[in-house]
Amino acid sequence: MAKHTVTLIPGDGIGPELTRAMTRVVDATGVDIEWESVDAGADVMEKYGTPLPDHVLDSIRKNKVAIKGPITTPVGGGFRSVNVAIRKKLDLYSCLRPSFSIPGTGARYDNVDLVIVRENTEDLYAGIEFEEGSEAAAELIKFAADSGAGVIRPDSGISLKPISIECSRRIVKFAFDYAIANGRKKVTAVHKANILKHSDGLFLKIAREVAAEYADSGVEFDDYIIDATCMQLVLHPEWFDVLVLPNLYGDIASDLAAGLVGGLGIAPGANIGTDYAVFEPVHGSAPKYAGKDMANPTAEILSAVLMLNHLGERDAADRILNAVKTVLAEGETVTYDIRRTNTGSTDGAVGTQAYADALIAKL
Ligand code: NAI
């Protein structure tokens, strides 16, 4: 029996070719993983009547660890995001997105080493919305006026921003536990508590309480307002270590952080709950590159590095990370996106699988 069984969801668009490159690199380290491959998304709709069949969730529940490629979310009609559904159904409340400079990516900074911890289950992402003109919106508008909370224009659509004690507590605790386990020095809570007193204000209050519980941990704590954080991230990214944010700010700040270190092609991520962990790149399915053997698999491969660390396979994780650093620093065998950032042209770029071959040669 394999030492680890991992659920593999290849996804669609560029997903299958990226996950193939990823499994080839991981397997080449010799680590003993059996991949249990299951499909989700538009391609399985016809067969199972849903883009997220039960057997996919059952496989993750059984194996506890999964890694996926991106899955397209149809715009307008069709189904809601499979990616969001997986996070919700398995209560994967922490979204972990490390951002660190790797020489050779052509990024604007060479001194970034920070980790975004984004709350994954509530805030404006909770999906509690009232359509403009609906009866429910009218009732809510009346309630806000009658209760003295405030006047909302009658022609408004409304999205609610729930932030709870429980979810704030567990995400800030996650950030501290992550900081301790990974030798990090500081946790920064990011919010807009000066304006949003009852949602972000509560988040900040709980963050301070949790920080007090970790006072002896050696991990420092501070807090910043989201707008100031965005400016400081661009001016002084080296000031930041672990940032913990409510869902929407975390979403925006993690793309900002990806931009600091060279873009979506290299930004890995993980969705972690109490029982399960699902690893995936920050980027989407980039349909225009699907099937062309062009897309950069680094984000998918660095997501596998996070997964290997989670599985306790630190040696294999380090070897892959070092191979990525070496190949990017040499700059000879890189995909079109990296080539273009470095030289202004895609001439001389290699394909997805040739890049994976170059990594394997450096393991
Ligand atoms: P996207 O991330 O797929 O692509 C945006 C652009 O970024 C691409 O056109 C390409 O230029 C570049 N890019 C992304 N990944 C790359 C890679 N590995 N190598 C080189 N270049 C890369 O974002 P978009 O176009 O907004 O979304 C496409 C689909 O993906 C949508 O249906 C969206 O809902 C879905 N999506 C899925 C996610 C997931 O599965 N977790 C996350 C984000 C989007």
296 lines ligand 1 (CB under 6 A): yes
pLDDT of 188 reads: 98
H/E run at residue 349: none
pLDDT of 77 reads: 64
3-state secondary structure of 84: helix
Instruction: Report pLDDT digits (tens) over 101-146.
Output: 999 999 999 999 999 999 999 999 888 999 999 999 999 999 999 9
pLDDT at 78 over 80: no
**Same CATH fold assignment for domains 1-98+267-363 and 163-260:** no
Residue nearest ligand 1's atom 37 by CA: 284
3-state secondary structure of 293: coil
How many Cβ atoms sit within 10 Å of the Cβ of residue 293? 15
Give the burial class of 202: count Cβ atoms within 10 A of its Cβ; 0-12 exposed, 13-18 middle, 19 or more buried.
middle
> DSSP assignment, residue 130?
E
Catalytic residues: 125, 192, 227, 251
86 lines ligand 1 (CB under 6 A): no
Identity of the residue numbered 194: N
94 lines ligand 1 (CB under 6 A): no
> DSSP assignment, residue 80?
P
Mean pLDDT value across residues 18-29: 98
Task: Specify the CATH number for 1-98+267-363; select among 2.60.40.1180, 3.40.50.2000, 3.40.718.10, 3.40.1350.10.
Answer: 3.40.718.10
Instruction: Report pLDDT digits (tens) over 217-250.
Output: 999 999 999 999 999 999 999 999 999 999 999 9
Instruction: Report pLDDT digits (tens) over 146-195.
Output: 999 999 999 999 999 999 999 999 999 999 999 999 999 999 999 999 99
Q: How far apart are CA 217 and CA 182, in angstroms?
A: 13
83 lines ligand 1 (CB under 6 A): yes
- pTM (global) more than 0.85: yes
In order, the DSSP letters of 29-70 are: TT--EEEEE---SHHHHHHHSSSS-HHHHHHHHHHSEEEE--
pLDDT band at 79 (very low <50, low <70, confident <90, very high): confident
Distance of CA 175 from the midpoint of ligand 1 (Å): 27
- Per-residue tokens: 283: 């980027």
Q: How far apart are CA 169 and CA 286, in angstroms?
A: 35
Domain spans of the chain, in order of start:
1-98+267-363, 123-161, 163-260
Which top CATH class is 163-260?
Answer: alpha beta
